[in-house]
Amino acid sequence: MKTKSFVIAALGAALASTSALAADMTLVSWGGAYQASQHKAYAEPYMKNNPDVNIIWDESSNEAVAKLRAMNEAGNITWDLVDVVASDAIRLCDEGLAMEVDHDKLLAPAPDGTPASEDFGDLLVSGCYIPQIVYSTTFGYRTDMVGDTPPTDVCAIFDLDKYPGKRSLEKRPINNMEWALLCDGVAKEDIYDVLETEAGQDRAFAKLDSIKDQVIWWSAGADTPQLLADGEVVMGSTYNGRLFSVIEEQNQPVAMLWDAQVFDLDGWIIPAGLPEERLNRVLDFVKFATDTQRLADQAKYISYGPARKSSAPLVSKHAELGIEMGPHMPTDPANAKNTFLYNYEWWADYRDDLDAKFQAWLAK
């Protein structure tokens, strides 16, 4: 009897908790391991504290800008919070599709009281952007295919004599043009000045021409890890977190080449024009999910560096593998000896032009 009434009560409670005004909040992210890390580090603890909020994930970050623009034109914004890379955040902010945020007012300060804007520092590249992590596009190589001299220099990708075999590069001009000029002897600080000129662009393409028939061009982040694991390529570029999982989780004979890694950011934007009730809910979540501890927690599940300076000392061990995550962060001093920050504004101007040239070059 007792158990029966208990079951009924429990059922009732369960029904009540699911139906009782659990408000949905739609977060947009990239899917895969990255979204899983966000779910574990931010969403799960938040829902535990706030049982009245139900977080739903939408894996649309890839085309977030286009979809947000379409939603805005239709006057029906169905997303509450969107995860995008920095260049997309700048575009969304420019177009008025993302809400401007006052970082100090809306975000939690660091544990020592440093205001959020200082804690994030230079990473606040746009007034609408709340960065979460720093990732990098960098190279991985097969340890069993490079002989006794593993590459330490990014220019190894252009060295077919020393490292014969195919390499994989992303099917877009961004990053590739910069690496090509860097390896053609242009100083790091002059790259964009050179790339602005017709002659400089030709120079970059000429450098890429030297390896063109040995390149497999990728468009999905999972391509290079798969190509490396299958031994299709000797080295290839991809996001550092993808390489981490090939190396540490799948134990493939692959190693990282951190030289000239290109930093980029990933973070939240709040769509402009949310109704007040939804906005308040999102702001509450954002404040929680971007505080120092939460950003550090995310690094337990994926090897991306937290965007807050105050989170760095709190980064601990991987949740399942139990290895220390610090040395796997792109921002770790040993890895970040030679880094490259790509120029958002420059690419906003030259993207269309260079992309047309790049595609024409590829098709040749």
Partner 1 sequence: MSDTIQSGPVLAADGTPLKRSLQRALRRQKMRALLLIAPLLAFILITFILPIGDMLFRSVENEIVSETIPETVDRLADWNPDVSALPDENVFNAFYVDMFLAQEKKEHTRLGTRLNYELTGVSSLFRKTGRRVTRFDTDIYAKQFIALDPAWKDPQTWSALFDVSSNRRALPFTTRSWDRWGNYLRGEGKNPGEEDIEDFLFSALHEDLTRLESTDGVDPLIAAATQAVGGFETVSVRDQFLDIDKDWGRQDVWRIIQVYSPPFTTGYFLNSVDLQLGVDGIKTRSEDQRIYIVLFGRTMFMSLMITFSCLLLGYPVAFLLSNLPLRTSNMLMILVLLPFWTSLLVRTSAWKVLLQQQGVINDVLVWLRIVDDANRLILINNQTGTIIAMTHILLPFMILPLYSVMKTIPPSYVRAAKSLGATDWTAFWRVYFPQSVPGIGAGAILVFILSIGYYITPELVGGTTGVFISNRIAYHISSSLNWGLAAALGSILLILVLALYWVYDKIVGIDNVKLG
Rounded to the nearest whole angstrom, what is the least distance from the CB of residue 57 to partner 1 in the complex? 19
Strand 305-306 relative to strand 130-142: parallel, antiparallel, unpaired? antiparallel
User: Cα Rg for the chain, rounded, in angstroms?
Assistant: 23
Whichever of 230 and 320 has its CB closer to partner 1, that residue is: 230
Residue 360 binds partner 1, judged by CB under 8 A: yes
Main-chain dihedrals φ then ψ at residue 57, nearest 5 degrees: -105, 140
Of the candidates 352, 265, 242, the residue with the CA atom closest to the CA atom of residue 87: 265
Residue 287 binds partner 1, judged by CB under 8 A: no
Residue 353 binds partner 1, judged by CB under 8 A: yes
Residue 94 binds partner 1, judged by CB under 8 A: yes
Whichever of 226 and 293 has its CB closer to partner 1, that residue is: 226
Residue 323 binds partner 1, judged by CB under 8 A: no
Residue 349 binds partner 1, judged by CB under 8 A: yes
Contact track, partner 1, 129-168, x by CB under 8 A: -------------------------------------x--
| Complete DSSP assignment for 116-152 | HHHHHGGG--STT-EEEEEEEEEEEEEGGGSTTS---
Going by the DSSP 8-state scheme, the letter that residue 9 receives in this structure is H
Residue 359 binds partner 1, judged by CB under 8 A: yes
List the one residue from 44, 95, 190, 324 that touches partner 1 (CB under 8 A).
95
Whichever of 29 and 311 has its CB closer to partner 1, that residue is: 29
Query: Among residue numbers 174 through 233, which ones bind partner 1 (CB under 8 A)?
Result: 216-217, 219-220, 226-227, 230-232
Residues that bind partner 1 (rule: CB under 8 A) add up to a total of 36
Of the candidates 23, 25, 27, the residue with the CA atom closest to the CA atom of residue 268: 27
Return all residues near 145 (Cβ < 8 A) that are at least 6 apart.
Answer: 163, 165, 231, 234
Rounded to the nearest whole angstrom, what is the least distance from the CB of residue 210 to partner 1 in the complex? 16
Main-chain dihedrals φ then ψ at residue 186, nearest 5 degrees: -85, 135
Rounded to the nearest whole angstrom, what is the least distance from the CB of residue 362 to partner 1 in the complex? 4
Of the candidates 304, 262, 260, 271, the residue with the CA atom closest to the CA atom of residue 81: 271
Q: Which residue has the tokens 């002897």?
A: 185
Whichever of 84 and 312 has its CB closer to partner 1, that residue is: 84
Rounded to the nearest whole angstrom, what is the least distance from the CB of residue 161 to partner 1 in the complex? 17
Of the candidates 114, 75, 71, 129, the residue with the CA atom closest to the CA atom of residue 266: 129
Whichever of 340 and 358 has its CB closer to partner 1, that residue is: 358
Main-chain dihedrals φ then ψ at residue 17, nearest 5 degrees: -70, -30
- Return residues touching partner 1 (CB under 8 A): 62-63, 65-66, 69, 91, 94-96, 166, 171, 216-217, 219-220, 226-227, 230-232, 345-346, 348-353, 355-357, 359-363
